[in-house]
Amino acid sequence: MTKIDFDKRIQQLLPYLKTAGKQVIEMREDPGFSVMQKPDDSPVSNADIWANSYFTDILEQHFPGEPIVGEESESKEYPVGAERLWFVDPIDGTRQFVSGKDNFFILIGLCLNGVPSMGICYKPSTGLLIAGNIETGVWSINEDGIKTPMQAAPWPSDPGSDPSIILKRPDQELKQSLLDEFGIKRHPYVGDQVDMLAPLFGMSNGYVTYRETAYWDLCAPAAIMHSAGYEILHQPDDSIYLFNEGGFKAEFYYSLPSNTPAQIKKLLFSKVMSF
């Protein structure tokens, strides 16, 4: 397998992210802006469709032969076991986008042998970019071009700490058990950033979702968290969950500090898998 220069790939994509971010905002302000409903009743705009096509073309141009799955792509088939596989969410947060809010993102993720290994999250409204890969780690770049390294924070060991986890669709029993047994609170959803990345900003100590989630929503943030040193979902046999086995959605997913106590993970996993 040829070694991938992840940093070079990220640098190649940066100008296109800025171009696309500017374009979708201009499209939203245009009188011809249109919004439709998909079969699952979620909204999709002509800006989503344009950005999906734009990034598919760019990836095909720069990385020929590597399959690409975009949220708005008509075909979402890819070769099972693909060595390199891209997942693109052209506008993550379409509901916010079409309502005129600024909390939307462009997500591009690359899986290497099914493992999320390179991720880019770009927020057009502020110019904030978060990018990472398994070789050189994670950094953020703000609108002024200031680059800041980011890395995993350990699970708090101080008895007086007040840990929290972003939990999506947990049942009441789980929420109460986390609080009663470990003092863990459910952290509010993060409005100005992708929820899965919240631990990188000190907004929570981890992320767990029990909601079925598409790979184009997961791949980029999972790659960023993986590259920062967080543990991302493993199978019961401790092998990592793979994104290239033919599916498009995960029923359960998490990113947690690698030193998260086993008892806590056991409780979290008890709802969906054996530990």
Please write the tens of the pLDDT for every residue from 149-194: 999 999 998 877 899 999 999 999 999 999 999 999 999 988 788 9
Q: Are residues 213 and 245 in the same domain?
A: yes
Q: Which residues, 6+ apart, have CB-to-CB distance to 237 below 8 Å?
A: none
**CATH number reported for the structural domain that contains residue 205 in this entry:** 3.40.190.80
* Residue numbers of the domain that contains 254: 164-269
pLDDT at 1: 58
pTM, two decimals, is 0.95
**CATH number reported for the structural domain that contains residue 121 in this entry:** 3.30.540.10
Question: Looking at 115, 150, 185, which one is the last position of a domain?
Answer: 150
pLDDT at 2: 73
Count of the separate structural domains present in the chain: 2
Q: Is residue 155 one of the residues assigned to a domain? A: no
Q: Are residues 143 and 257 in the same domain?
A: no
Structure token digits, residue 178: 């986390």
Q: Are residues 124 and 236 in the same domain?
A: no
